[in-house]
Structure 1
Amino acid sequence: MKDALQGILVIELGTVLTAPLAGMMLADLGARVIKVEHPEGGDPFRRHAGKLYSPHFAAYNRNKESIQLDLQSESGKADLTKLIQRADVLLDNFRAGVLPRLGFSDEVLKKLNPRLVHCSITGFGAEGPYKDRPCYDAVALAISGLASQKLDPENPVLNGPSLSDNITGMYAAYGILGALHGRERTGEGARVEVNMLEASIAFSPEGFSQFTRLGVTPTPMSRVAISQSYAFRCADDRLLAIHLSSVEKFWLAFVNALAHPELLEDERFKTPALRTQHYALISELVSQIFAQHPYAEWEKRLTQADVPFAPVKSVPEVMQDPQVQQLQPFYTIQHPEHGELTAIHRPVKIGGQRGPSELAAPVLGEHSAAIRQEFALS
């Protein structure tokens, strides 16, 4: 079961992030993924740090093969046709209408390969007033409502890793797996459509439920107030995060760890609903308490009280964390041109095993000659 998708051939026409992530997830499950790239520069993600092999590209393209094809040329289209005829999955994140303009409409694809699962990832879908607009992570975050639940309106700074891109790639892989399973019953392929706007909306259902059921428009503080999530700075400047949820025992344990029993007697904090209402006040009061002791003291107290907490760790600190080292999510791959590379296992075990993780992200056109020979391409 570690090679759950062994025997599945995926042709990826993917650039930057959404389709490459979906393709990598399928590759991590054992599928063979051939990444089709333009002869001049390939995937634009390659160029983020020069030499056509950026860490950004390497992070999203392990376990793949690379072939260079110019899809604007007749020979490139003929070669792609041969690949599609042998493929189980075709994956692209072109804008709506691009693939049909290249000569690969749904009708053509079905004639070429009736068993093909074609996953099309777009920014806004194939129809509607925004269908021709360009879309990237920040655009999808903004228009889906996710940004309004993350940004401080007084200091609107976008930060952190790509969310909408990653979310969309995951939903694409999810849809492809469902279509492949359905093909086992019907013998027929299917078109899978995923767009960044819908995927981002689906990733945050709670806010829309709050609005439609309660008439409450979520803000960046809505969820953290309900979940009683906090971040505090200790006396030695270390940051830690607390998540008390609505479970009463955690509030009691938290106050016990603080050694400030008067908080239990405060009528404003008697119930979860009241603590949600007075979230900002609790944060202000408790921040002053945390500033009195270094992190080591708080780690001891919170651990003994069984409070859900963690230090806010940087990327280097994460890699040295004892629990992370126990889980062993990181591994190294030797690349003949770029040396030792660090990669991340798929975070899913099947039958107790992680699956195949052998190939570093390919250099541009690394497998062109072998693939051309195997598939009798021009």
Structure 2
Amino acid sequence: MTSAGALSDIKVVELGQLLAGPFCGQLLGDMGADVIKVEPPGEGDPMRLWGQGAEKVQWEVIARNKRSVSANLRIPEGQALVRSLIAKADVLIENFKPGTMEKWGLGPDVLHADNPGLIIARMSGYGQTGPYSDRAGFGGIGEAMGGWRYIVGEPDRPPSRMGVSIGDTLTATYGCIGVLSALHVRKNTGKGQVVDAALYESVLQVMEGLVPEYDRTGFIRERSGSILTGIAPSNVYICKDGEYMIGANKDSLWQRLAEAMGQPELGTDPRYATHLARGENQLELDERINAWTKTLTVDDVDALMTHYSIPAGRVYRAPEMLADPHFKAREAIIEVETERFGKLKMQNAFPKLSETPSGVRRPAPSVVGQHNAEVYGEYLGLSEADLAELAAAGAI
């Protein structure tokens, strides 16, 4: 990676563990920020052991572009060390239970006294204020409270979840947006501020019309399986040799799909001709489309959808992503030389910037505190003797 990235002059200290805080750090690091990952001595972030499959490699993605230092935040020596580190930083990321940082003597009032320009991104289940603020919260809890879990799954079954921790990554993304906004403000004022990103509110942001629909009409969205009620046709359909996604939920697109199906008369059929009519007859319409796709292969349907310019696509797993020429052409997946696993394919940095592209500049640190001497020397001027003394005290 030759570009330094858009945030190459920004120093970030990342506290916290697991997903929300670290994913925010990943986003900033991908954009070029110098991210110092602070881990507990010994065991480090539990993310080092997360992932599925025979080998746990999720850490290699979320900890890329970071340097690892160790610090024991539960003792005064470790707290003082981290406070000194934060005093040199532009951004602090933390996702502890509200009140924890204050208990360690690292609350915003203390940190801003040391560093008035510091931007503090705080990610938590329920936010830093309100009657629930002191409750523990994970991504799934935020998904439930924010409305996501209730509407996901089949109507006759309990709520389902996505196969990824969407509540955490949404919160991290909104936290990152907040950091970028605060950096812009700081350019004009010189002052830092606190970014308060709650899991449940991050999920609430993507709930579309769920709240105003109820407020205005009393309508409560329910689980609808693979469809979005009233939006038709937009579903995954069964072919001879697999599954295929078609989204023709617009009058002109539906007319083109009817032509592709060899049934152009359906395009103007009163049961399907308008958005509202298709919504009212959604299940019947999906059955018609499924009956057609079952007679064809995925390749057959894909060729027709391309010819008729209908939004559609194959349902991909990792193998299909790695084989797809479009992924390759856009370098959506790259190969990173990792310290633990050698060459490892993973998603590239995103979004794409034309002048200051993001990217992976360093692999995830393989050892907790791997960069202690480098970072503490560079930021704080600590010597080997200083580090030995801190280690003896259990601070690193």
Could you report, residue by residue, the CA deviation over 1:176-222 in whole angstroms, capped at 9, with x for unpaired residues? Answer: 11111101111111111111011110122332233334432223437
* Aligned equivalent of 1:14: 16
Residue 244 in structure 1 maps to residue 248 in structure 2 = yes
Q: Any stretches of 5+ residues in structure 1 without a counterpart?
A: none
Matching residue of 2:149: 147
| 1:228 maps to which of 233, 248, 269 | 233
Name which of structure 1's ranges 60-69 and 128-137 shifts more when overlaid on structure 2: 128-137
Decide whether aligned partners of structure 1 residues 329 and 261 sit closer, same or farther in structure 2, where only a CA change above 3 A counts.
closer
Structure 1 stretch displaced more, 114-123 or 2-11? 2-11
Deviation at 1:124, TM superposition (A): 0.5
Counterpart check, 1:116 vs 2:118: yes
Using the TM superposition, give the Cα deviation of residue 322 of structure 1 relative to its aligned residue in structure 2, in angstroms: 1.3
**What is the identity percentage for the equivalent residue pairs of Structure 1 and Structure 2?**
29
1:345 aligns with 2:325: no
1:22, 1:170 within 8 Å by CA — same for their partners in 2?
Answer: yes
SS of 2:13's equivalent in the other structure is strand
Indicate conservation of the 8 Å contact 1:333/1:358, yes or no: no
SS state at 1:178 partner? helix
1:308 aligns with 2:311: yes
Who is 2:185 aligned against? 182
* Match among 61, 70, 86 for residue 63 of structure 2: 61
| Alignment coverage as a number of residue pairs | 374
Match of 2:93 in 1: 91
Q: Partner of 2:393 in structure 1? A: none
Partner of 2:323: 320
CA distance in 1, matches of 2:288, 2:139: 36
Cα offsets for 1:270-319 (capped at 9, x unmatched): 21111011111111222122112222221222222211110111111012
Change (3 A) 1:148 1:176: same
* Shift of residue 224, structure 1, vs aligned partner: 5.1
Equivalence for 2:7: 5
1:268·1:274 contact (CA, 8 Å) conserved in 2?
yes
Distance 2:344 2:297 in 1: 36
Work out the CA distance in 1 between the residues paired with 2:293 and 2:98. 52
- In 1, the alpha carbon distance for the partners of 2:222 and 2:339 equals 49
Q: Larger deviation: 349-358 or 2-11?
A: 349-358
Name which of 272, 290, 294 aligns with 1:291.
294
* Aligned residue number for residue 76 of structure 1: 78
Q: Residues of 2 paired with 1:258 and 1:49: CA distance?
A: 42
CA contact (8 A) 2:39 2:369 kept: yes
Q: Indicate the SS of the match to 2:50.
A: helix
* Higher alpha-carbon deviation: 61-70 or 211-220: 211-220
Letter in 1 for 2:244: L
Amino acid at match of 2:238: R
The answer to whether the 8 A contact 1:2-1:351 is kept is no
Aligned mates of 1:335, 1:265 — CA distance in 2: 56
Distance of 2:91 and 2:330 partners within structure 1? 32
Q: 1:150/1:4 Cα in 2 relative to 1: closer, same or farther (>3 Å)?
A: same
**Aligned-pair CA distance for 1:14:** 2.6
Alpha-carbon contact 2:74-2:104 (below 8 Å) kept? yes
2:187 is the alignment partner of 1:193 = no
The 3 A distance-change label for structure 1 pair 315 and 338 is closer
